[in-house]
Structure 1
Amino acid sequence: MDLLPWQLAALLAPLIILLVTTFYSLISTGNKRILDKNLPPQAAGGWPVIGHLRLLSGPELPHIILSDMADKYGLIFSIRLGVHRALIVSSPEIAKECFTTNDMIFCDRPRTAAVQHMSYDFAMFGLGKYCPYWRELRKICVQKLLSNRKIEALGHLYVAEIRALMRSLYNSCVDGTAPSPLEMRKLFRDLSLTVMVRVVAGNIVVGSHEKEGFGRNGMRR
């Protein structure tokens, strides 16, 4: 019995899809093997989708975990942060090679959908992609925000906030109200936030190390 055209197409379609899939898998596997030969070793313990993120979220600090990996895998190896491969180097010579000779290769960032939405289509300086727009933003930051003249002009803010923090710590010790042990991480976080807000917004101060004159939201003018 002769097959109708649509019946013949229905029989051949799965066969064609199978052949194309097999051919693509063979090519991808071959290219991956060639590429893996030129890549540094990848640390064991990575999971699908999340990669090695679970290893970095344990009780140990990330730099200690990476140091232990470097003792096992050598001065240069790779891990997977989600689906993206990250290069870990533990040698000053290799780091210099990455940031001087090959700096143009390492200056870009992964273009993920999350970063695109959070950075307004890569418009934010810290999350933007390497392009003429990003280079212009860097030029503005170096010349207008982070220049030596600008830092010297704002030096009194740093001194004032550090003195306020030290005075608060001294008064707490004298009054016997200082907690034991003292959590320095929170104090440094408040100090950094206070300095940043004063630099950006003028005389507005945010922080908990100076109680005098604060409003309900922990802010004063």
Structure 2
Amino acid sequence: MLPIPALWFLLGGFILFILSTALLFQKQSQQKQKQPPPPPGPPGLPVVGHLHMLGELPHRSLETLSEKYGPIMSLRLGQVPTIVISSPEVAELCLKKHDTDFASRPRLEASEYFSYGYKGMIFSEYSPYWRNMRKVCTLQLLSASKVESFAPLRKSELEKAVKTVEKAAEGGEVVNLSEVVHSVMEDVVYKMVLGCNKDDKFDLKGLIHEMLILGGKFNVTDFVPWLGPLDLQGLRRNFKKLSKKLDQVLEKIIKDHEHASSNAHNNNNNQKQINKDFVDILLSQMHQPIDPYDEQNHVIDRTNIKAIVLDMIAAAFDTSATVILWALSELLRHPRVMKKLQEELRNVVGMNKLVEEVDFPKLSYLDMVIKETLRLHPAGTFITRKSTKDTVIHDYYIKKSSEVLVNLWAIGRDPKVWSKNALEFYPERFLNKNVDVRGYDFELIPFGSGRRGCPGIQLGLVTVKLVVSQFVHCFDWELPYGMSPNELDMSEKYGITVPRVKDLLAVPTSRPLEIWAQDGWNK
């Protein structure tokens, strides 16, 4: 039996433990009471949460929900807590004021396979590795000087497309503009990135197309991870199969570049190569430290090169083609705008030559047309981010690892931002509204903003402007089969990008350009 003093000691310790525990629970309770509430949102279902509310066109469905629950809304997509943002003010808080808190990306199964385990730039999580990869892409591949160096390539490939359309115009034929635009973009991107024609040796076109389709499919594993091992949709099998085919093609391309470089060196060919393609540039950086001050000493290897090449092809090809076709669609639906743009091109460029990239600073109405297209038809309807820590936004609590979706489609059509005619294609709205699409004005951020903003803005804008202006300058266009502008189907389909459902068909008529009469033009 313990002595009385020992009993009192144990009893005192027990009482002290009880009081400490009570105080701790009280403190935690007070902290929870002080913690702001999560954003409002609709009630969800067990397991699936709000997945059933997304529909075939999530950007439209979430816009409708945001009208009821506000510009910042909570959802649960399967097991993934999700915040939907539908106003420029809240978007600015997330992408500017709290940029580092939302600088990461959600992990998607397709991205894991098509970016070599997140070794590319687009889908990598925010980390020193990502910062180094972005530095390489920005400085070595997408700098203003590099974009400018490929101007002759863009000009040459677009001239070929113009000649093709000119032949169709002579015969009064219907032109599939979707096919023409995609063909131009494929030629430019493959030569710029890979240094080869789209049909040279590799069946890359079909593989990239399949990758974009597969990557855009709804994958239940991304939202309910414990279903992953079952592969209910068979997507994982397809990811593995396609990624293996892509790797084989990319490995062959890299080996061909290495072989060509070795031959040039052995032949003592010291002539400076002015226009190296992206693969050449990345190979020249291989095994070198990306950043000499990086403690982890990241270097570029073959896997990095393949991941970046896939990023560049997918981003440059599909997004630009999508925006170009939406711009041409809107111009066909609005003959007034088409005519006004043609008048600007005639007055600034003249009728004795094609449009050149040096003309762009003087083409203010063209700039407005492209901005209006990006407002109504952003190539990607959402900016997707992931929170890296608990954060308070707009007096609402957002917990760590939440997925954040900035609904660009909803912001671009919000009458509170763009007035009552927000749904109308009206480029003149930018006449006295100095809006920069490069990520500084949050009512129009088609290329994102902040640390994760698209580094290929310059390349994208130049390409879109060049193709649109050239087709409008060289030809008059009308819809086929007696179709009126109001009858043009403007339905979109959802994926990695949001393109037209149906191909864009139109009948061209050559405008009175002196270029047509030059020797060799139609040969």
Q: Do they superpose with TM above 0.5?
A: yes
> Does the CA-based 8 Å contact 1:50-1:81 persist in structure 2?
yes
Point out where structure 1 has 5 or more consecutive residues left out of the alignment. 1-29, 207-213
Task: Call closer, same or farther: CA 1:112–1:202 in 2, change over 3 Å.
Answer: closer
For 1:114 and 1:127, the matched residues in 2 are separated by: 10
Aligned to 1:172: 168
Q: Give the 3-state SS of the residue equivalent to 1:77 in structure 2.
A: strand
Matched, 1:108 2:104: yes
Q: Deviation per CA, 1:68-110: give whole Å up to 9, x if none.
A: 2222221111344443233222221211111111111111123
> CA–CA distance in 2 between the matches of 1:146 and 1:216?
25
Show structure 2 runs of 5+ residues with no match. Answer: 1-28, 206-523
**1:113 and 1:175, CA in 2 relative to 1: closer, same or farther beyond 3 A?**
closer
CA distance in structure 1 between the aligned counterparts of 2:204 and 2:106, rounded to whole angstroms: 38
Partner secondary structure for residue 83 of structure 2: strand
1:200 to 193, 196, 203: 193
TM-score between both structures, scaled by the size of structure 1: 0.62
Whose relative contact order is higher, 1 or 2, with alpha carbons under 8 Å and at least 6 apart?
2
What SS does structure 2 have at the residue aligned with 1:108?
Answer: coil
With the length of structure 2 as denominator, give the TM-score of the two structures: 0.29
Match of 2:70 in 1: 74
For residues 202 and 124 of structure 2, the distance between their equivalents in structure 1, rounded to whole angstroms, comes to: 36
Q: Conserved in 2, the CA contact under 8 Å of 1:49 and 1:82?
A: yes
For residues 18-167 of structure 1, the aligned pairs below 5 Å read: 38-43=37-42, 48-49=47-48, 51-52=50-51, 54-58=52-56, 61-111=57-107, 115-167=111-163
Question: C-alpha deviations, 1:123-179, integer Å up to 9, x for none?
Answer: 222221111111000111110111000000012222223333333233223324425
Percent identity for Structure 1 against Structure 2: 29
Question: In 2 relative to 1, CA 48–195 (structure 1 residues): closer, same or farther, beyond 3 Å?
Answer: farther
Distance 1:201 1:37, change over 3 A: same
Work out the CA distance in 1 between the residues paired with 2:141 and 2:76.
34
CA shift in 2, pair 1:143/1:169, >3 Å: same
Give the 4+ runs in structure 1 shifted more than 6 A: 214-219
8 Å CA contact 2:50–2:78 kept in 1: the answer is yes
- Measured against aligned partners, the alpha-carbon deviations of 1:187-207 in whole angstroms (never above 9, x if no partner) come to 43333332211111224146x
For residues 136 and 161 of structure 1, the distance between their equivalents in structure 2, rounded to whole angstroms, comes to 33
SS state of the match for residue 78, structure 1? strand
| Equivalent pair of 1:169/1:178 in contact (CA under 8 Å) | no
TM-align CA RMSD:
3.6
Deviation at 1:185, TM superposition (A): 4.1
Q: Structure 1 residues 216, 103: CA separation in 2 closer, same or farther (over 3 Å shift)?
A: closer
Contact 1:79 1:88 in 2 (8 A): yes
d(CA) in 1 for partners of 2:184, 2:54:
27
C-alpha distance in 2, partners of 1:107/1:122? 15
Give distance in 2, aligned partners of 1:130 and 1:168.
45
Residues in 2 aligned to 1:55 and 1:42: alpha-carbon distance in whole angstroms: 12
2:50/2:76 contact within 8 Å kept: yes
- 8 Å CA contact 2:55, 2:61 repeated in 1: no
